[in-house]
């Protein structure tokens, strides 16, 4: 009897579906799609809602990264650990980013989504992609590396540059660790400030459904579903390839490290829906940092791997670049030799590094790649300009999952992964979360964990 009363009490306390952020965001996306489809002009006019929400989140990204990294490093006992974590992270990034490029190249050769279109290169509107080609031309490896160094100590926070913030955060954290006990008051102050900032993240996430509604209504209203019609093969192939990479490749990586890719995706469903609605993986970065810490990864590893991965571990962007390049070549009946494709792969390996996790960055990176590969004209990008927004969502989702997996794997390699917390968070341990932990709660709030 007491057991039944307890069960009834638990059911009574369980929040309704409408109270969950993922349900609210999903509903907002559906409503936004309907508004954009049936009232295109209204959908386009809602763009400021999506832009405003993304700006709100980007406003808080720099403080979140700084506080997470600086306090994480300051609490490390062994400073050599910072170098080890960075080395392992970049080793992982290189291997799987390259693998993503190869997967995109292979499937594009097998499926050949552009074959049969028979596009005359002279008929393409080169002016439509001129701005992207110009932006790509102005980007160089030296320029990219130089841009990592901020003008002043605080300019990284003002400009919102992730890699600049990462550099300042690492240096500040190391300095704080080296001064020892003298820095204890600063560490305590930063840890207290972390709770305030993460509570601010919680407040901002309440507006996620509004942002997703506006962004998706604009996408459908401005571009429409009809634009996918004659290019459905490319869009479908990109999504299918990304799904194969996530479930097949990353799924095996997760399995080898003791957890399930499906349970990880379910755990991050709110963030994934937010990325889908806004086409920007940056919109979910603060929440991802919190979720991974709750899943047992140490703050120092999360702080180093996640922001770095947002610029160097872009699996979705890499799949897109090789696939889109081959699609353009196939559509214009350009036969790329094995040598041409190897060159394309090598160039893409370099140009993909440093592409920001924001809408349109993949398109600019593709322009930079094609500018170096003479066999495929940059003007051919006009073929996919209309559907790039739909492919941008796929890129962002794949990048997001790839960085979540990378962080947990590096944390395990470093011995900085609490397996009990991981299994509890993913619902795969002896107990499970009675209620999903609030991703917006501060670092001190661990959630209520009970065994069934």
pLDDT tens profile 293-303: 999 998 888 88
Q: Can you tell me which residue has the tokens 């790039």? A: 388
How far apart CA 145 and CA 148 sit, in angstroms, is: 5
| 343 closest CA partner among 105, 58, 169 | 105
User: From residue 437, how far is each of 48, 254, 433, 440 by CA, in Å?
Assistant: 31, 22, 7, 9
pLDDT score for 137: 47
More confident residue, 222 or 270: 270
pLDDT score for 11: 44
The pLDDT tens digits of the residues spanning 46-96 come to 888 888 888 888 788 888 888 888 887 777 766 777 788 889 998 999 899
- Please check whether residue 219 lies inside any domain of the structure: yes
- Please check whether residue 119 lies inside any domain of the structure: yes
Q: For 208-217, what is the mean pLDDT?
A: 84
- Please check whether residue 298 lies inside any domain of the structure: yes
pLDDT band at residue 205 using 50, 70 and 90 as cut-offs: confident
- Please check whether residue 136 lies inside any domain of the structure: yes
- Please check whether residue 4 lies inside any domain of the structure: no
Q: Which domain holds residue 349?
A: 19-438
Number of domains in the chain: 1
Q: For 134-151, what is the mean pLDDT?
A: 60
pLDDT higher than 70, residue 99? yes
- Please check whether residue 284 lies inside any domain of the structure: yes
pLDDT band at residue 386 using 50, 70 and 90 as cut-offs: low
Q: For 214-229, what is the mean pLDDT?
A: 74
Contacting residues for 441 by C-beta, under 8 A, at least 6 apart: 198, 199, 202, 290, 447
Find the CATH number of the domain harbouring 281.
1.10.3860.10
The total number of residues written for the chain in this structure: 452
User: From residue 220, how far is each of 41, 48, 129, 132, 261 by CA, in Å?
Assistant: 10, 15, 21, 22, 30
Lowest mean pLDDT among 122-126, 374-378, 385-389: 122-126
The pLDDT tens digits of the residues spanning 324-357 come to 888 888 888 888 788 888 888 877 776 665 454 4
- Please check whether residue 358 lies inside any domain of the structure: yes
More confident residue, 443 or 338: 338
pLDDT higher than 50, residue 105? yes
- Please check whether residue 263 lies inside any domain of the structure: yes
């Amino acid at each position: 009897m007491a057991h039944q009363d307890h069960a009834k009490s638990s059911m009574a306390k369980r929040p309704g579906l409408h109270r969950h952020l993922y349900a609210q965001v999903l509903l907002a996306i559906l409503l936004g799609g309907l508004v954009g489809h049936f009232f295109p002009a209204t959908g386009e006019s809602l763009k400021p809602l999506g832009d405003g929400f993304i700006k709100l989140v980007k406003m808080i990204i720099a403080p979140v990264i700084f506080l997470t990294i600086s306090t994480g490093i300051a609490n490390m006992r062994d400073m050599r650990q910072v170098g080890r974590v960075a080395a392992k992270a970049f080793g992982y990034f290189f291997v799987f980013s390259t693998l993503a490029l190869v997967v995109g190249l292979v499937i594009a050769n097998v499926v050949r989504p552009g074959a049969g279109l028979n596009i005359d290169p002279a008929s393409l509107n080169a002016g439509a992609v001129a701005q992207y080609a110009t932006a790509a031309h102005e980007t160089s490896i030296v320029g990219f590396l130089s841009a990592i160094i901020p003008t002043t100590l605080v300019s990284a926070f003002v400009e919102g540059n992730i890699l600049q913030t990462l550099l300042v955060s690492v240096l500040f954290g190391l300095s704080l660790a080296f001064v020892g006990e003298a820095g204890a008051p600063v560490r305590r102050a930063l840890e207290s400030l972390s709770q305030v900032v993460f509570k601010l993240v919680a407040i901002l996430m309440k507006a996620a459904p509004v942002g997703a509604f506006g962004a998706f209504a604009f996408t459908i209203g401005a571009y429409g579903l009809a634009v996918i019609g004659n290019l459905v093969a490319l869009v479908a192939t990109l999504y299918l390839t990304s799904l194969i990479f996530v479930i097949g490749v990353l799924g095996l990586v997760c399995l080898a490290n003791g957890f399930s890719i499906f349970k990880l995706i379910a755990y991050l469903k709110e963030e994934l829906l937010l990325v889908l609605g806004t086409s920007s993986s940056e919109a979910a970065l603060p929440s991802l940092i919190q979720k991974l810490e709750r899943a047992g990864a140490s703050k120092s590893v999360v702080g180093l791997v996640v922001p770095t991965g947002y610029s160097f571990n872009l699996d979705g962007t890499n799949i897109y670049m090789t696939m889109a390049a081959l699609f353009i070549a196939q559509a214009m009946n350009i036969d790329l030799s094995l040598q041409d494709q190897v060159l394309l792969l090598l160039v893409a390996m370099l140009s993909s590094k440093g592409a920001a996790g924001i809408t349109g960055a993949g398109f600019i990176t593709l322009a930079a790649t094609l500018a170096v590969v003479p066999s495929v004209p940059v003007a051919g990008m006009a073929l996919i300009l209309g559907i790039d927004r739909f492919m941008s969502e796929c890129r962002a989702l794949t990048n997001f999952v790839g960085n979540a997996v990378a962080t947990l794997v590096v944390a395990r390699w470093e011995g900085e992964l609490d397996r009990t917390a991981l299994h509890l968070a993913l619902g795969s341990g002896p107990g499970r979360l009675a209620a999903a932990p609030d991703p917006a709660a501060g670092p001190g709030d661990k959630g209520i964990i009970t065994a069934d």
